[in-house]
Chain A
Amino acid sequence: MRIDNLYFFLDQFFTDNGCHVTKPEENELVVQLTRELDIALMNRPFYWHYMDKIGQQGMPMSLHLHTGESHNDPKKEWIHYGSPRLQQIFHYIQTHAKTTVLYEEIQTEQKTALYPWLIVNLKIDYIGKQKKEEVNSLGLHLINGTILNQMMEILQKIDFKEKVSDYSYTITPIITPSSGFHRIFRYSEQELLKKDHTWAIQSKEALEEELNLLRHFFQDQDADEDLFHNEAVRLKERFEPRININIINAGIFYISEKSINQLLS
């Protein structure tokens, strides 16, 4: 589920957030920001502070973005994966989309039960001599405890809304969300143990080697106890293998039995 087109991604983001977006030319977006996004992106707190003080509405600014290969027009902001503006937008999304509660949108006049799922998106860091990351999406059925992988890919095909659709009703979870999280963690840990951890062994070996050199270097210098200790701690920080399980975002999703069965088959 990588972003394959930045232009569409940004168009969707700004439109969804209530901005007026025009497209004067290919690869270009002119975005009239909302007050909220102006505050988040334009870095002018004094302006808004002052406007609030005198009871004025204030005028949000507009952005002229360009997502092409490269360009030199100083009036347009060139947006690419490294550009600070994009990082800012991403940061906004990441901090504002940490949790959610969503309901499957169902157009039917039959009474339909929606079952609660806890969806947890994880980023797993493998840190040793080097570092790599893995992204996982897990779903836990909060009634029967089933755990599914690649949940976001599965759910892509479903429309969700913030409100329950007419004629559908929700089933109350048996497993509480917080014990749900612990089940997800336990499951991830078990999966991790099955993996090949040569990288960790190699990092351990490298660490031992470096520590031996360090001991050798400081053996004749008795005065440098602190220095030795300091270097040893930093070595461990740099080489000692470890795994971090971070949560990107998570939410309670109410989904009909039918949809899940359809998507899984």
Chain B
Amino acid sequence: MLPIVKDIDFLTDFTETIDNPSQLATWEMFQQSYQIAETFKVDSFHTLVSMNFLPHMKFLPHQVQCAEKVIQDMSGRALLADEVGLGKTIEAGLILKEYLIRGVVKKVLILAPASLVNQWALELNQKFYIPAVTAGKRVNWEHSNIIIATMDLAKREPHRSAILNQVYDMVIIDEAHKLKNHKTKNYQFVQALQKKYFLLLTATPVQNKLTDIFNLISLLKPGYLGTYENFNKKHQSTDPYLKQLIQQVMIRNRREETGVQWTDRHVSTIWVDFTEEELNTYQKIDDGCRDLQVVSSITYKREFCSSREACYLSLKKWMEMKELNNHETTLHHVLKNIEQLPHHAKALKLVELIKNQNNEKFIVFTEYRATQIYLQWLLQQEGIKSVIFRGGFKKGKRDWMRQLFHDHAQAMIATEAAGEGINLQFCHNLVNYDLPWNPMRLEQRIGRIHRFGQEHDVKIFNFAIRNTMEEHVMNLLYNKINLFENVIGQLDQILSKLDMKNLESEISQIFSESKTIGETKIKLDNLTSVINSLAEEQVGESV
């Protein structure tokens, strides 16, 4: 039997006001009120009505289709996994707007990275007329209808308990790939939220492992892919059925399919040669580590390819930890060597590059904070203004840095954590000062500038030092699979097909376990050819 709820409260109001002439409506207003109801009724289960309310917005076809699919086929719980820059926020806003108009959603929680909180508020208010507010320190969770907060704030007491006590009609989580591990506090917090409709947004639904996506989907639809244990047992590698299942809860638009004109990407590799002293030091790191039977010299060598400072600091820290007070080890010599090096070849090359490009803006990505500080110092010496950007910056500081970069500085030097959550369409030169070994992170970086709204072709400069491990990674991994040329979008699928648990650790392993350079090369070569063959297959399938 279908429950029918009647508006009984109206009767009380009616009998109270009927005797009070000042509260009675004129015939005209009475009719107008009815006309309004007629005009705004949602008379179909299926057709979206929100677009009628947003005549100033030009939605792209894939964005509208996405909203329709989420509402009609997915009943409001979905993983929005468009490639970077295709407008996931717009899609989420459209879905939210539709539910608000249909009157099934009132109370909403949006969790976004600190750097995106203000942007969410701005877009929802200006583009969608959705009165969303950001959460400050004294936020009142109970009385806020549509609120945007950072995960860091939300999961901290006393906010955590207060939030868990609310019943949300809709929860939206941006950059949801951070929830890939079901054992983390963040994951359990999100799982415990009381929510009806639920959107997860990420450009990289599979970062390393297939279980990443299992965990994300289990938040949306617990049980949809079975239990964790079963999933791990069953889905070893290629399972077409699994792919089908995933497509019913995930929407992933790719650049090529959207039919939108994108500016081009020009990728160039900039080769750098170490000076003789630098190359000597680089090799000594290897010897030093072997003498002390350090498990792996890879980390230190990678750091040295970035800057003297990065390597020096972490070597020193390691030695202090191990209490190596004997100053005669090879590693102590290495440290002394590093101290005496006058410069770093790669950094000098960066200065040269920026100086040659007529005041154009550059964003420079490095993996290390020590390098970041060194680069800023060096650029300053050369008269180039720069700002730094890190994931740990507070919201206000991030916005400020972005503004400084926009108005005053020529370069922004960012560490990895800044790879997401900041939009820099006004800049079209990107330097990968250190290459990440996980190509998915690269797409996040490039997505900061090559996104909707970029008017210029985007230039990407990849720095690599000859005769070091960087050369191998560049030649064997990146160049071979053409990772820079828009192929990355498919990499998540390829990796899941390969059941590659973690590409970064895979590469790390190859470096540390290979006894000769030749062996490294062969192994990396094998890895890339497997990825390539699957990539071709993928294109053939045109998923």
Contact = CB atoms under 8 A, between A and B. Distances in A.
A137 B35 CA distance: 11
Given A123-B41, A152-B31, A162-B24, A213 B224 contact: yes
A246 B221 CA distance: 32
A103 to B, nearest CB: 10
A57 to B, nearest CB: 21
Contacts of B30: 97, 100, 102, 249, 251
B4 A242 contact: yes
Interface in A74-109: 78, 80-84, 87, 90, 93-94, 96-102
A1 B2 contact: no
B55 A132 contact: no
A162 B27 CA distance: 8
A102 B218 contact: no
B42 interface: yes
Contact of A241 (B2, B6, B44): B2
B43 A133 contact: yes
A249 B222 contact: no
Nearest to B222: A217
B27 A252 contact: no
B326 interface: no
A3 interface: yes
Nearest to B191: A227
Question: What is the predominant secondary structure among interface residues of chain B facing chain A?
Answer: mixed
A213 B13 contact: no
Contacts of A93: 29, 32-33, 36
B45 A131 contact: yes
A250 B8 CA distance: 13
Interface residues of B, number: 64
A245 B27 contact: no
Nearest to B3: A242
Contacts of A3: 35-36, 38-39
A197 interface: yes
B229 interface: yes
Contact of A99 (B24, B43, B52, B192): B24
Contacts, number: 209
A265 interface: no
A177 B229 contact: no
B36 A231 contact: no
Given A101-B18, A237-B196, A133 B42 contact: yes
B400 interface: no
A220 B71 CA distance: 31
B453 interface: no
Given A98-B13, A123-B41, A13 B52 contact: no
B195 interface: yes
A243 B37 contact: no
A56 interface: no
A94 B129 CA distance: 20
B72 interface: yes
| Max count, chain B CB within 10 A of own CB: residue among A9, A101, A238 | A238
Nearest to A84: B129
B269 interface: no
B160 to A, nearest CB: 15
Contacts of A80: 53, 55-56
Interface string B1-40: 0111111001101110110010111111111111111110
A101 B10 contact: no
Given A125-B103, A152-B34, A97 B76 contact: no
A51 interface: no
A127 B42 CA distance: 11
Given A16-B26, A132-B44, A217 B3 contact: no
Contact of A101 (B5, B24, B46, B56): B24
A35 interface: no
B27 A206 contact: no
Interface size for chain A: under 10, 10 to 19, 20 to 34, or 35 or more residues?
35 or more
Nearest to B14: A99
Interface string B186-212: 000001101111000000000000000
A29 to B, nearest CB: 16
A130 to B, nearest CB: 4
B5 A213 contact: no
A97 B25 CA distance: 5
A247 interface: yes
A134 interface: yes
Given A13-B32, A192-B4, A247-B7, A214 B223 contact: yes
| Max count, chain B CB within 10 A of own CB: residue among A3, A97, A127, A230 | A97
A216 interface: yes
B379 to A, nearest CB: 40
Contacts of B512: none
A100 B23 CA distance: 8
A190 to B, nearest CB: 11
Interface string A222-256: 00000100110110011101111111111110000
B18 A137 contact: no
B223 A218 contact: yes
B108 to A, nearest CB: 14
Nearest to B168: A234
B226 interface: yes
A219 B226 CA distance: 10
Contacts of A234: 194-196
Given A220-B227, A230-B194, A178 B53 contact: no
| Max count, chain A CB within 10 A of own CB: residue among B17, B36, B224 | B36
A238 B102 CA distance: 13
A222 to B, nearest CB: 13
Query: What are the 9 tightest A-B residue pairs by CB atom distance, in nearest-first order?
Result: A217-B223, A82-B53, A213-B223, A97-B25, A97-B33, A130-B45, A160-B27, A97-B29, A247-B10
Given A97-B33, A216-B227, 8 more contacts: A2-B38, A83-B129, A84-B129, A97-B26, A192-B2, A218-B222, A241-B2, A247-B7
8 contacts: A2-B39, A97-B30, A100-B30, A123-B37, A217-B226, A227-B192, A243-B3, A251-B25
